[in-house]
Amino acid sequence: MNILEVNDLNVYYGAIHAIKNISFEIKKGEIVTLIGANGAGKTSTLHAISGLITPRSGEISLNGMNITNKEAHKLLGLGMAHVPEGRRIFTNLTVLENLEMGAFIRNDKDKIKKDLNNIFDMFPRLAERKKQLAGTMSGGEQQMLAIARALMSRPELLLMDEPSMGLAPILVQEIFKTIEKINKENNVTILLVEQNAHMALSIANRAYVLETGKIIMSGDANDLANNDDIKKAYLGG
């Protein structure tokens, strides 16, 4: 069953046609990645799906429900969460307060407590720093917090925008292992936007390649990773 369907999506910024009639779907339980160069339209696509920008035309469905133009905060209650580019954590709040903010739409206090414990098991460094101001942590720790905060809403679908940006290679590997773990152990479907195409294709089931606002190729992530054109354009080969 498709958890997300995007049909004939068009996004404009003034006169600039940023997203040009794209269509794709994500099945429940998958990791799907959108890869492409800077400016290809990856982030604009995520923003349109999560209600941060209004598409000119097209339809977006979540679990069969039309969510086109739905306000971003309402989508959280429908099972979608977004880890934005640049992390966007609350720097003046503690780690624990950031996580509690992630659960602000929930009323089930006992389950929130249980989820906090699970988060601290998954991210031991956050447990060590739960009383620390989030803005004083390293980039890698802040990225972990941004992911953990999104998980506190118990999403079915997690949108992730450039989670490896600005991180040291060893931390990039750690973040990608965490994404796989969230997918398999928490049963969360993931739409991943990532400039690190090599890492994204290594963990994804399927991939779509965006170029100047159009999907130019799609398929099994392994097949795309071994495609000569993709290697030359995105994998440094």
> 13-40 pLDDT, tens per residue?
999 999 999 999 999 999 999 999 888 9
Q: Compute the chain's Rg from CA coordinates.
A: 17
User: 21 Cβ partners below 8 Å, 6+ apart?
Assistant: 8, 9, 10, 58, 214
Ordered structural domains, the chain, with CATH: 1-79+155-237 (3.40.50.300), 86-154 (no CATH)
Whether 234 contacts 38, CB under 8 Å: no
- Rounded CA separation 163/175 (Å): 7
pLDDT tens readout for residues 66-106: 999 999 888 988 999 999 887 788 888 999 999 998 888 77
pTM of the model: 0.92
Which residues of the chain are under the pLDDT cut of 50?
A: none
Report how far Cα 153 is from the mean position of its chain's Cα atoms. 14
* Burial class of residue 124 in the structure, from the number of CB atoms within 10 Å of its CB (0-12 exposed, 13-18 middle, 19+ buried): exposed
